Amino acid sequence: MSKTETHIDPRITESRHRVLTAALEELAEVGYGAFAIESVCRRSGVAKSTVYRHWPGKLALIADALRLLNVQPGSADAGGRPTDQSPWERVVAIVRHLATAFTGSMVADCTPALVDAAARDPELRELFHGYNAERRQTLVDAVADGVATGEFPGHLNPDLAAAALAGVVMYRRLMTPAPLTPTEAEALAAMVLGHRPPQRGPGVP
């Protein structure tokens, strides 16, 4: 670890978090078209010169906010080491995380604004689609691992299965009054993947 990495001023970390949080709040409230760095500065209490030193514009700021404030469970732990979770456990964890994010978070609140703006802004569309493709790949990999180990049926297409799982969460959030709850994640995964948990013996909790 470098000297710089071991002496990060906690005030910098705290102000960075305030800016990123304020960015998503601003996006959810006014949309992408009216989004202004100046408003983010007022919300966060961080000087404009400081914000522009780290983010050259609103696209870069929003990209960082999405990636750093919505950490997705994956195939490795915080230290980059492989987890000991099975493919089924990884899938359920990812779907549960997605459902949690879309039932009450800043990311959920600003998603309608991003979907709307991405239809008209090519740069934002590229960012939004890339961001979602990167996150969907974690789910695709978990499904593919389950197919490879025989935990999931061999006929499953990991890309389509991942799209089906994430698509239900998005559809329920954007098109119905009842978002998918985290408690429904396991049932959804079981239905899409045809997974049946192993039977427990008598007396086994």
Quick: pLDDT tens for 162-178: 999 999 999 998 899 99
Report the pLDDT value the prediction gives residue 81, as an integer from 0 to 100: 43
Q: What angle do CA 61, 125, 48 make, to 5 degrees?
A: 20
For all residues of the chain together, what is the average pLDDT?
86
| Range 15-27 average pLDDT | 93
What is the per-residue pLDDT across 113-135, written as a single tens digit (0 to 9) for each?
A: 898 999 999 999 999 999 889 88
pLDDT in tens, 29-59: 999 999 999 999 999 999 999 999 999 999 9
Which superfamily, per CATH, for 72-193? Answer: Tetracycline Repressor, domain 2 (1.10.357.10)
Same CATH fold, 72-193 and 9-67? no
Instruction: State residue 103's pLDDT score.
Output: 82
Q: Do 179 and 173 meet the contact criterion of CB atoms below 8 Å apart? A: yes
Mean pLDDT value across residues 176-199: 87
CATH dotted code for 9-67: 1.10.10.60
Q: Where are the domains of the chain?
A: 9-67, 72-193
DSSP structure class, residue 76: B
DSSP annotation string for 74-135: -SB-TTSPBP---HHHHHHHHHHHHHHHTTSSHHHHHHHHHHHHHTT-HHHHHHHHHHHHHH
